[in-house]
Amino acid sequence: MSTEHSSIPATEAKSAAQAEFAGRTALVTGGASGIGLALARRLAAGGAAVVVADYDEKNARKAAAELESSGARAAAVAMDVTDAASVEAGVRFAVDTFGALHLAANNAGVAGVASPTGEYPVEDWNRVVATNLSGVFHSLRYELPAIVEAGGGAIVNMSSILGTNGFAGSPAYVAAKHGVVGLTKTAALEYAARNVRINAVGPGFIDTPLLKNADPAAREHLVSLHPAGRLGTAEEVAELAAFLLSDKASFIHGSYHLVDGGFSAP
């Protein structure tokens, strides 16, 4: 009896993966490290031309050089998402460099200090909200017209599990990430008819270099909050974000998607 194999040859699978975002330009804020870098790598592997935007210009250039060394088209731009003019310039750079903007991942963010609301430093509140919420607004403000002009595309805003849950000691971060979800839903309603899909991702605690250096007891506590029994990886978040940016998610508008190892399930 003959046996038929339905598996796709490796070369064909690789070609299909590279065609996923072919002909499209993607802008990733906070793209020089962590989740942003993982997503820049994933989009580049899918064939996108990637603009790595980050406050840390040196590491943004390093990330772009890495992508180029793998055969991708990439460029780096210094961007401070708290400054609307800086964001406008970064989006213009992406369009000028690669001809158009089709995809964006608004990932730049900061954690802030740990303190109860009644004792939270005002300057830290302003910094966290300016980066994590106003930064997403500034990004949308200039990405959306560019993407509409290109004929449409998709945007992913990086929220958090704390976009739907409270967390003692993190009032600014929690408030900002809740705000990102609301902003995402509003913009999605406004731009669905203009062929732009906008969604949000809510990662759990992710195993980044920052947490690798955390106090072991604090790290174990964070692990215990996830029924999966571990922290997430930047690559797992990047896969979800890449799906939402892809044509496979063509009927998904204004949604908030968790990748949190069950953190939000109880």
- Which residue type does 224 have? S
Cα dist from 167 to 173, 174, 175, whole Å: 9, 7, 10
Tell me the C-alpha distance between 192 and 180, whole Å: 18
Tell me the C-alpha distance between 163 and 205, whole Å: 13
φ/ψ of residue 48, rounded to 5? -75, 150
Tell me the C-alpha distance between 177 and 180, whole Å: 5
| DSSP H helix total and E strand total for the chain | 10, 7
Tell me the C-alpha distance between 89 and 108, whole Å: 16
Per DSSP, helices labelled H in 118-215 are 122-129, 135-149, 171-191, 209-212
Provide CB contacts within 8 A for 189, sequence distance 6+. Answer: 254
CB 128, CB 173: distance < 8 Å = yes
| Beta bridge mates, 18 | none
Residues with catalytic function? 173
φ/ψ of residue 170, rounded to 5? -130, 50
